[in-house]
A and B are shown apart, each in its own frame.
Chain A
Amino acid sequence: MRGLLRGGEGVPLVALSCLCLLLLAYPLGLLVKVGLGDGLGPVLDTLTSGPVMRALKNSVESALLSAALALVGGTLAALVLGLTDVRRKGAFTFLLLVPMMIPPHVTAIAWIQALGPSSPLLQSLGLAPPLGSTHPLYSREGVILLLGIQHAPLVFLLVLAALRSLPREMSDAARVSGAGPARMLRRVILPLLAPTLIAGYALAMVSALGNFGIPALLGIPARYTTLPVLIWQRLASFGPSVLSDMAVIAMLVALVAIAAVVLQMWLASRRRNALIGPPQPPLDIRLGRARPWVEAAMALAILATLVLPMTALVTSALVPTYGVSLSAATITLDNFAEILLRQSATLRAFANSTLIAALSAVTLAAMAVLVARYVAARDRRLRRIGKGIAMLGEMTYAIPGLVISVAFILAFIRPLPILGLSLYNTLWIILLAYLCAFFSVALKPVSSAYLQLDPALDEAAQVSGAGVARRMLRISLPLIAPAAASGAILVFLTAYNEVTVSALLWSSGHETIGTTIFNYEDGGYTTLASAMAAVTVVVTVLLMALLDRFGRGLPAGVVPWRI
């Protein structure tokens, strides 16, 4: 232990471990306690029952396949924007990230509307399926496709950040030696990106595993039940045993997530590349005559992932009630007036969500920078601690948000010891739950950046007598800043419109955007929900524009779309 604490690691290590224990391990422990409340027998019964096994299979299948889709889509887009000479890179990057700001269940609703029998778009093209026919997205393939689309921006942002910190010398050397773009990609870029690609795949997979909105809307009608949906159905039976049932299934989700992450860490350790440079402007491989085609393909992707759902959303926000078709006679701004002028809760929800999403983004990015150092440490004991914390974060990310919120009720309903303050029914309990649920989102990009960082740099500084703080500030931080920033932005976007984590933790005065939209939808006010979701997208775009403004003074690569 003395050796471990040498070199000034002691204080940050202990403080960080305590914080992670409180935020991650304590709520998880309470869940395990609830799950095991009636002994091991009922747990095994639950786990081996037919519906649970079926849901497990569906969960694993949809997570694996949709993550592959997200990996291919996200990586392709990042390679095009990071390596070639397409025009309007900033705008493309920005627009590809926007779909992440639309809550998953809203995206699902928009796609259902856009491709269903009553779709105005398909009707005007004469392609609409006949009335009464089953929706094509109500299927296993529909669930996988939409999960893939939803999580592709995660991979995209990760790969883009990694591309920017790849040392330019390698690719320049390859080009000088006469390697064509294809060869350079295969022999230089992709091998160097391997840790990031693995991390991106794992992040997309674990995200899909814990997703509720999409399988709930598309999977239930297809009887394609995943574990989070099964948890929801168990909760809906209201009986006294619902909590332990829910906890047991949640533990199963956590175990699957651990399996995925162990595999990821094993793969990453085999592909470790110790290479990183300061953020660089992207390469400009000339696409020549192919350029307009590539640009058209990108525009098409944006059309499908952004314009299509947004159109459906805005269309249903502009009619007086759902099912009325939009025309000059029916168009109305009443829904917008209602949410913006009459309901005080909506504006409060925007303020609340902006505040706690921003706080969790900043806090988690800082925590990720510290923890990732341990994940990539040479010292085996430090590395174990780092990996242990990463593993906990992985579990809390995969466990459906609703279960996390139950754990936080159990953990924080009583006033805090010593302080005597109660967090229950305040905004701060939601903030803590976000820190718990989204830790992994911030950690992924940072730890893959650290794994690319040559430890010799840090050791050289240590030998020269630099302390921990100085080494972090002068050596590591500049090199991993782009990754930490993508982590923070990912956390912000995820937290900004999540629906499930705050579902049981909000209280009047402390609403969040996601719960407000869901409440409208749930109460039958679809048009208000659509209006609110449309406003959310606009507000997020404004916030990102603000970041853009503000980002001029930040180091290169921190704001991802400033290329």
Chain B
Amino acid sequence: MLRTLAGATAALMLSTVALAAEPSGKLVLYTSQPNADAQQTVDAFVALYPDVEVEWFREGTTKVMAKLRAEFEAGAPQPDVLLIADMVTMEGLKAEGRLMPYTGADVSAYDPSLMDADGQYFSTKLITTGIMYNTNAPMVPTSYKDLLQPEMKDMLAMPSPLTSGAATIHMAAITADPALGWAYYEGLAAQGSNPQGGNGGTYKAIAGGEKLYGFMVDFLPIRGKAEGAPVAFVFPEEGVSAVTEPVAILSTARNPDAARAFVDFLVSVEGQELAADMGYLPAHPGVTPPAGFPPLDEIRLLDFDPARALAEDEANKMHFVEIFGG
């Protein structure tokens, strides 16, 4: 109770400060959003805060993190805000003391499991991983267990947890599920599946018909289907895992005011509507998901604990390599 109160007071104070100084100056953003999305996000933010000039760098999460690691090493991290990948990565940065808490953000509407309890990172959307299939395939899978059927042998494709953050989280969520566990991944290996590369490559393998079924992030097949590609996406019965593209302020931020305004914008209803416009599932329950997605309350999420996933990350990957080879 006392902690909540203290938190609330701090939040109140911080928000007063934020209101007092209208943010301005240069804001440096590192993001793993696709180019067009990043541009759209920045444009919408600048329209609200015309005094802020946003400089941004966009790459895949691996490269953004490599750049950031090099900047840490050189003692000169550049960005004020990060908008990348997943909670596990953020959890790692938090553990190293690289993030600045912002307890003033209004996240009351959100599922608390999507936000860091200490206000160090904030989920901005749900990119779920479920099952994609090629519509020329003879079967339509409805659960993860379906992929273990003999008819699907050698027909599976999936991104590798050694390359893709979403796949890492998917593996952590499934193997932590008592009904599936590591036995499920062993079953996938016995099916001749061969996890490789990222989601883009897997999407192409299934859309191009090299393989017919596999794990995939939701928006690629949903968007592809709308454009006429022979693909479809299934939210499996057991539930989906999700990467949430969290936003965080670096402890070394040079423009924390603008950074806080950026966080506020992303978790606001307008910011969430923007995410829905881009074709992503918004994390805010009050915002209507884009066409092709079921309503948020009908989507079942697999249980997921980012701190545990971080602690077990290396062991999980080792286990994966044992099952599938390096």
Contacts and interface: CB of A to CB of B under 8 A. Distances in A.
Interface of A: 34, 50-51, 54, 113, 116-118, 131-135, 216-217, 220-221, 223, 225, 232-233, 235-240, 242-243, 246, 320-324, 330, 343, 345, 402, 406, 409-410, 413-414, 424-425, 503-504, 506-508, 515, 519-526
Contacts of A239: 92, 313-314
Contacts of A132: 154-155, 209-212
B203 interface: yes
Interface stretch (B15-23, B61-69, B104-112, B254-262): B61-69
A321 B228 contact: yes
B160 A504 contact: no
Contacts of A522: 34, 59-60, 198, 200
B228 A524 contact: no
> Which residue, B70, B164, B220, has most C-beta atoms of chain A within 10 A?
B70
Nearest to A238: B65
Interface stretch (B71-79, B174-182, B234-242, B295-303): B71-79
Interface string B201-225: 1011001111110000000100110
A237 B317 contact: yes
Given A113-B208, A322-B229, A51 B326 contact: yes
Given A236-B163, A414-B74, A524-B34, A323 B58 contact: no
B71 A519 contact: no
A402 B59 CA distance: 13
A521 B326 CA distance: 25
A507 B55 CA distance: 9
A343 B40 CA distance: 12
Interface string B127-145: 0000000101000000000
17 contacts: A131-B136, A131-B209, A216-B197, A217-B201, A221-B197, A237-B313, A237-B314, A239-B92, A323-B209, A324-B229, A330-B228, A345-B35, A402-B66, A406-B67, A409-B71, A410-B74, A413-B71
A235 B66 contact: yes
B163 to A, nearest CB: 5
Interface in B144-183: 154-155, 160, 162-165
A552 B167 CA distance: 56
Given A243-B73, A521-B200, 20 more contacts: A131-B210, A132-B155, A132-B212, A134-B194, A217-B197, A220-B163, A220-B196, A236-B61, A236-B162, A237-B317, A238-B65, A323-B229, A406-B66, A410-B73, A425-B78, A522-B34, A522-B200, A523-B35, A523-B36, A524-B199
Contacts of B230: 323-324
A162 B152 CA distance: 56
A346 to B, nearest CB: 10
A322 B209 contact: no
Given A220-B196, A522-B60, A504 B70 contact: yes
- Of all A-B residue pairs in the complex, the 3 with the closest CB atoms, nearest first, are A523-B34, A323-B207, A321-B227
Contact of A133 (B34, B154, B160, B164): B154
B66 A504 contact: yes
Contact of B326 (A54, A134, A526): A54
Contacts of B224: 321-323
B197 A220 contact: yes
Contacts of A520: 35
A220 B274 CA distance: 36
A414 B75 CA distance: 9
Contacts of B200: 521-524, 526
B74 A413 contact: yes
Interface string B314-326: 1001000100111
B56 interface: yes
* Interface size of B as a range: 35 or more
Contacts of A345: 35
Nearest to A242: B69
Nearest to A131: B209
Contacts of B229: 321-324
A507 B30 CA distance: 10
A89 to B, nearest CB: 39
Nearest to A244: B73
A328 to B, nearest CB: 15
Given A235-B65, A320-B228, A508-B57, A131 B212 contact: yes
Contacts of A232: 62, 163
Task: Point out which of A116, A135, A322, A507 has the most chain B C-beta atoms below 10 A from its C-beta.
Answer: A322
B89 interface: yes
A507 B57 contact: yes
A409 B72 CA distance: 10
Of A51, A134, A237, A503, most buried by chain B (CB within 10 Å of CB) is A237
B81 interface: no
Given A321-B229, A414-B76, A504 B194 contact: no
A131 to B, nearest CB: 5
B231 interface: yes
Nearest to B89: A238
A519 B212 contact: no
A406 B321 CA distance: 27
Contacts of B155: 132
A202 B236 CA distance: 52
B30 to A, nearest CB: 11
A519 B210 contact: no
Contacts of B96: 240
Contacts of B209: 116-118, 131-132, 323
Contacts of A320: 227-228
Nearest to B321: A51
A323 B231 contact: yes
A324 to B, nearest CB: 5
A223 B326 contact: yes
Nearest to B34: A523
Nearest to B88: A238
A50 B55 CA distance: 42
Given A51-B326, A117-B209, A414-B74, A524 B66 contact: no
A97 to B, nearest CB: 29
